[in-house]
Structure 1
Amino acid sequence: MRPILLLLLGAYLVCAGQHSHIVIYTATKGVPGFPEFVAATMVDGTQVNYYDSEIKEVIPRQDWVRGAVDEQFWQRNTQIRSNVHQVFKNNINTVMERFNQTQGTHIVQQMYGCSWDEETGDVDGFDDFGYDGESFLSLDLKNLRYISTMPEAHITLVKVNNNKALLEAKKQYRTQECIEWLKKYLQYGKSTIERKVSPQVSLLQKDPTSSVSCHATGFYPKEVTISWQKNKQDHDEDVDLGELIINEDGTFQKTSTLNVKPEEWKMNVYECVVEHKSRTIRSILTQDKIRTNYAPVPIGIIVGVIAAVLLLIVIGVAGYKVYQKKKGFKPVNASDDGSNNSAHSDPKA
């Protein structure tokens, strides 16, 4: 079952050569300062439209999106998002009952969409649900059924798997209509989605005795390799590679940390190598190149960190605060309260 990771939920990253069209719903309860419901549509990791329960309308996130949709698109999808919001409000209460919970901070998420391999023509679709940090219900498109390892999902599992018409509709959307929208967005957004932006690379250190991190940010597309060399030889030991994080502007950032003592890297030649489609950047680790907490940090790094935090709100991953408190999160069927399925039918984009 595909795990739902809170920090990456807004950017379900497919393999190189593939394209993805993803819709993410996030509903929260007891999370102050965040919208009760957020919806975002992503194409190849680029956010193309956004809705939340405070602004109460679907808005474009890219200028080119307006040319890809009809004039009624925004009003039509605003109504769909509003309906889904009501369903998700009920779902949180229903799932809380499943887990014998009566209060607390909770989050329900759904991530669904499709992927298309431009080289082979292969298509795939997915539909994952989460509750409080863990994936517990996912669509097995090949066998046209939902699967789960969580006993709390049993009621939902039986209900949806007995609804053959619903399953066929899910398959039709993910293998046909979703793919059509994906190709249309790729056509209109080609200049943005296929752009190449070089990374900004910095060597960072908290204090004179701590590990040194090689931080790359602001790059696009997402494929990047960050490695270390010692005296011109590949060095894989004592290295921790961080997760890929999407910035608010649609670019990405990633960090690789070298865990060796300062006296070790000062006596040898350590080099961070960042390989990206735009170019390869090499940074030799020397004291004068390190940025620390006791020296000014480049504005690019500050902007990147702020953008990453903002994105957690922009794409509705408000549950990150829940994750920090609980270190976990669990999914659920969006129709598991028995609501009208049409109110939560897959959006037409």
Structure 2
Amino acid sequence: MFGCEWDDQTGETNAFDQHGYDGEDFVSLDLKELRYISPVQQGIPTVQKWNNEKSSLDYWKNYLSIECFDYLKKYVQYGKSSLEKTVSPQVSLLQKDPSSPVACHATGFYPIGVTINWQKNGQDHDEDVDLGGIVPNEDGTFQVMSTLNVKPEEWKKNKYECVVEHKSRTTKSVLTEDKIKTNYESLPIGIIIGAVAAVLLLVVIGVAGYCVYQKRKGFKPVSDSDDGSNSSTHTDPNA
């Protein structure tokens, strides 16, 4: 593993060239002393060999001291619009039914750093809270959900708030009945239409399959000895 690090705020830099074996440190380059070192006895023969290869040492000194940082700064500039892009989260309060827990769902935010917490009457509330992991969306943004496991009568007589803090902004959603969406209501219309279409397709396939089955069930093959129009042998009347 080799590379370089650059802090564009302080200007601090760091570079490294490290080798491992079986999950353990094996050999690494001391850039200041310009020599390889090993924390284990087994790496000494490799260290001795590489330290005698002056042309290789000079190459890594030049790459890790100059070239690597030139590339890094160039790529940071190329990706600056993406790296500095911020998209605010869309926050919704979701509930499956009137007696189920309430979930605070934040989605569509970028970059990934976000905190989502509950407050009760202005104070942080960590009890009866299940926090899910941050997961990616198809468009490159992220989403996260935190569920409040308290009875409706509890949050109706107290002031509960879901607080979502992101680089772009801080969003507070007060838990009230009029702000809650059911899971069905929160589904995109495209998903609902797709689900209905899928059910209709299954019904059509089922009916078609049943008809084919009934036809096959009533079909009786005609033996070679049978006469008449059901025979599988056809004669040209003009022959």
Match of 1:296 in 2: 185
Residues 27, 43 of structure 2: 8 Å contact kept: no
2:163 to 273, 278, 289: 273
Is 1:221 aligned with 2:111? yes
Residues 195, 220 of structure 1: 8 Å contact kept: yes
After superposition, what is the alpha-carbon deviation per residue over 1:259-311, rounded to whole angstroms, capped at 9, x for unaligned?
32333222211111112232221111123323333x222539x8xxxxxxxxx
In the superposition, relative to structure 1, how do residues 206 and 187 fare at CA in structure 2: closer, same or farther (>3 Å)?
A: same
In the superposition, relative to structure 1, how do residues 123 and 244 fare at CA in structure 2: closer, same or farther (>3 Å)?
A: farther
- Structure 2 unpaired stretches of 5+: 31-35, 52-56, 192-239
Q: Which moved more, 1:226-235 or 1:257-266?
A: 257-266
Determine the C-alpha separation between the residues in 1 that align with 2:38 and 2:132: 32
After superposition, what is the alpha-carbon deviation per residue over 1:230-277, rounded to whole angstroms, capped at 9, x for unaligned?
112222333333333333433222222323233322221111111223
Q: Percent identity?
A: 59
Aligned-pair Cα RMSD in Å? 4.5
Secondary structure of 1:196's aligned partner: coil
1:255 to 145, 154, 163: 145
Match of 1:185 in 2: 75
- Higher RCO (Cα < 8 Å, 6 or more apart): 1
Normalized against structure 2, the TM-score is what? 0.54
Higher-Rg structure is 2
In the superposition, relative to structure 1, how do residues 235 and 191 fare at CA in structure 2: closer, same or farther (>3 Å)?
A: same
Match of 2:213 in 1: none
Normalized against structure 1, the TM-score is what? 0.39
The correspondence of residues 1-349 of structure 1 with structure 2, limited to 5 A, is 115-123=5-13, 136=23, 162=46, 165=50, 177-293=67-183, 295-299=184-188
- Structure 1 unpaired stretches of 5+: 1-110, 129-134, 148-157, 303-349
Deviation of 1:199 after TM superposition, in Å, equals: 0.9
After superposition, what is the alpha-carbon deviation per residue over 1:36-59, rounded to whole angstroms, capped at 9, x for unaligned?
xxxxxxxxxxxxxxxxxxxxxxxx
Residues 123, 175 of structure 1: 8 Å contact kept: no
What is the aligned residue count? 177
Determine the C-alpha separation between the residues in 2 that align with 1:236 and 1:199: 22
One-letter amino acid matched to 2:123:
Q
One-letter amino acid matched to 2:176:
T
